[in-house]
Structures are given as C-alpha cells and as structure tokens.
C-alpha cells in the first residue's frame, strides 16, 4: 500500500525560528532593544505550565526578551485586567499572551479583548479576528498560521483547491478556514455535529483535523492523494507501554489515513512545533509594525 509523504513540521519550524532570530536582530538594531513577549500564566494547569515554559525558552533562544507573569488560580478578573492594561501601556512590551484556559471566575473573552490588538500575538482579539475575516492586515492565530505555512510549502499555490476544516473553534477552525479562503480555496467547515463526515470530506484536497477527538479522522475520511494536517494533540492511555503510561496522538488515525493521503503531518513533530515558531514570528511582526521597522512577508 502506498504511504503518504511525512510533512516534517519540526524541521520547518527550526528554519522558521532561525529566520525569526535574524529578524529579531534587525529589529533590535533598529529600535535599540530586542522584541519582547510577555506571557501570563494563571494557576497550575499542568499542560499550560509545560507550554508556557516552552514558549519562554524558545523566545529567549530566538534572541528576544521574555517577560513572565505567574498569577495564582484565585486571582480576580479586575487584577488580571489591570496587569493587561499596564502591559498595553508599556512601550517595552511588544507581544502579550495570556495562556488559556483561565479559571472559571475569569471571563476569557473579556481578558482576550482587553489586550491591545497590535500586541495580541495570539491573534484572538475580536479586532484581529475581524481584520482576518475581511482580508485586512492583522496578527494571525499561531496554529492555523503554522498549518498554512506547511500547506504552502507542500502544495505551492492553494488556489481553487477544496479544503475541509474539521473543527470550528475560535483558536483554530474558524481562522484556519479564513486563511484558506484568503488563499482562494473552496472551504467547508465541518464539526462534531456534521451528519455524514466522510461524505463532507470525500472531495477534500486539503483536510485539516482540529476537532480535539483522538483519532476521529480515519482513512475513510481521506480522499486519495489528499494533504492531511493533524492539529490534535491528545494524551491517551497506552497500556502496551506499561501500566499508567500515556502516548500522544492526533485527531487523525495516522495508520489508516497515511495509506490514502498524499502527504500527512505526524503527531508529535507536525503542527505542534509550528505553533511556537509562529508565535515568535508574530512577536517579531508586532514589534516591527509598532516601530515601523520593515521585515519581509511570509
Ligand atoms: N492554550 C492552548 N493553546 C493556546 C494558544 O495557542 N494560545 C494561548 N494563549 N493559550 C492556549
């Protein structure tokens, strides 16, 4: 059985980060300091703590300044909003990221929308979502941006291709669909309630899985030769590795999908590394735009 080409997001991301490091240096020369990313972690969510540690390490490794705010789970919304207002007003902060999820007493939308749009390196602010939807310059959410870079690298022009995005989150599904539309794809958004998902995916030249359900997308959903992008990162029990052990798996059943796909991203090592690469890129872009420094487009 033919096997799909494996899309190496880790290698692509390493090159992207090298490019961002060069951009960061040229911004530093122009404005007299390195681009700075402030990361806010509320509480002790274990996965969030790992993500944030990773983001901080990579930011510094790319020659940018990392500013860290760790707040207790019990923090109230007013205190968090005050911190955001201070960072908005601080000229030495270029990017602000508040790690999600937030504790129940905090209104996530209110927090996201309190971030100055030009510092919103997650691209989640309603202004950035609106700018993207209307084809204007914005900061683009990191994970879909990373998926788009991999797709462009794999396929060249995406114009006219049929793209199906499975998942409708504000973080991935919706912005992914907007980006693909901007590339002149014919875009379908499917989700967990779609009636006949294999039928909805049958004509997809590009299939992006972002439903958050382990291995839900199988070979039955994949058109022969399609490019499959797996956004999922799910931790599932792996008794074959020993009692209490886990493994990481995507939203795609890799073995069956790879038999039909032309190319596919693995988990781990596919989309995951691209998210951080794009966050660093967004931080450089935010700094460059704020101070009118010219860096290239990607
Ligand atoms: N939690 C899971 N993914 C993300 C992300 O991309 N950004 C933020 N801020 N929080 C997240």
What pLDDT, in 10s, does the model give residues 15-70? 999 999 999 999 999 999 999 999 999 999 999 999 999 999 999 999 999 999 99
In a domain, 248, yes or no: yes
* Domain's final residue, options 119, 150, 175: 119
Which CATH number covers residue 238? 3.40.50.720
pLDDT in tens, 125-148: 999 999 999 999 999 999 999 999
User: Residue 2: its pLDDT value, please?
Assistant: 73
Task: Examine the domain organization and report whether 98 and 167 are in the same domain.
Answer: no
- pLDDT category at 1 given cuts 50, 70, 90 is low
Average of per-residue pLDDT across 181-199: 97
Longest dimension (CA), the chain: 58
Domain count, the chain: 2
Single out the residue of 64, 63, 110, 114 nearest to residue 87, CA to CA.
Answer: 114
Task: Examine the domain organization and report whether 81 and 163 are in the same domain.
Answer: no
In a domain, 134, yes or no: no
- pLDDT category at 271 given cuts 50, 70, 90 is very high
In a domain, 228, yes or no: yes
Q: How far is the CA of 143 from the centre of ligand 1 (A)?
A: 9
User: Is any ligand 1 atom within 6 A of the Cβ of residue 97?
Assistant: yes
Which CATH number covers residue 81? 3.40.50.10860
User: Is any ligand 1 atom within 6 A of the Cβ of residue 118?
Assistant: no
In a domain, 255, yes or no: yes
Task: Examine the domain organization and report whether 172 and 113 are in the same domain.
Answer: no
In a domain, 226, yes or no: yes
The question of whether 136 is a catalytic residue gets the answer no
User: Is any ligand 1 atom within 6 A of the Cβ of residue 122?
Assistant: yes
In a domain, 22, yes or no: no
Task: Examine the domain organization and report whether 187 and 223 are in the same domain.
Answer: yes
Residue 73 has pLDDT above 80, yes or no: yes
pLDDT in tens, 214-265: 999 999 999 999 999 999 999 999 999 999 999 999 999 999 999 999 999 9
Task: Examine the domain organization and report whether 148 and 269 are in the same domain.
Answer: yes
The question of whether 122 is a catalytic residue gets the answer yes
pTM of the model: 0.97
The rounded mean pLDDT for the chain is 97
Share of the chain above pLDDT 70, in %: 100
Query: Which residue's CA is the closest to the ligand 1 atom numbered 4?
Result: 100
Task: Examine the domain organization and report whether 253 and 150 are in the same domain.
Answer: yes
User: Residue 298: its pLDDT value, please?
Assistant: 74
In a domain, 90, yes or no: yes
Which residue segment(s) compose the domain that 189 sits in? 142-273
Average of per-residue pLDDT across 100-110: 97
Q: How far is the CA of 274 from the centre of ligand 1 (A)?
A: 13
Query: Which residue's CA is the closest to the ligand 1 atom numbered 2?
Result: 100
Task: Examine the domain organization and report whether 268 and 159 are in the same domain.
Answer: yes
In a domain, 280, yes or no: no
Task: Examine the domain organization and report whether 109 and 155 are in the same domain.
Answer: no
């Amino acid at each position: 059985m033919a096997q799909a080409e494996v899309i190496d997001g880790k290698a692509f991301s390493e090159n992207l980060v090298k490019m961002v490091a060069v951009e960061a240096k040229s911004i530093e020369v122009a404005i007299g300091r390195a681009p700075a990313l402030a990361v806010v972690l509320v509480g002790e969510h274990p996965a969030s703590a790992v993500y944030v540690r990773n983001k901080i390490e990579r930011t510094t490794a790319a020659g940018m300044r990392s500013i860290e705010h760790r707040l207790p789970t019990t923090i109230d919304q007013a205190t968090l909003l005050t911190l955001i207002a201070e960072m908005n007003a601080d000229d030495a902060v270029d990017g602000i990221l508040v790690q999600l999820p937030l504790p129940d007493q905090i209104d996530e939308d209110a927090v996201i929308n309190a971030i100055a749009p030009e510092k919103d390196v997650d691209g989640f602010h309603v202004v950035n979502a609106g700018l993207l939807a209307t084809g204007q310059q914005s900061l683009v959410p990191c994970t879909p941006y990373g998926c788009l870079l991999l797709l462009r690298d794999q396929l060249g022009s995406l114009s006219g291709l049929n793209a199906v995005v499975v998942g409708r989150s504000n973080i991935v599904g919706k912005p992914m669909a907007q980006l693909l539309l901007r590339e002149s794809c014919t875009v379908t958004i499917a989700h967990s309630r779609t009636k006949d998902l294999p039928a909805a995916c049958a004509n997809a030249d590009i299939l992006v899985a972002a439903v958050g359900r382990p291995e839900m997308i199988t070979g039955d959903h994949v058109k022969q030769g399609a490019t499959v992008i797996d956004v999922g990162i799910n931790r599932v029990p792996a008794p074959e590795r020993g009692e209490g052990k886990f493994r990481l798996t995507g939203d795609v059943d890799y073995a069956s999908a790879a038999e039909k796909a032309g190319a596919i991203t693995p988990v781990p090592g596919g989309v995951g590394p691209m998210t951080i690469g794009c966050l660093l890129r967004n931080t450089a872009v935010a700094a460059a735009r704020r101070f009118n420094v010219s860096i290239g487009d990607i």
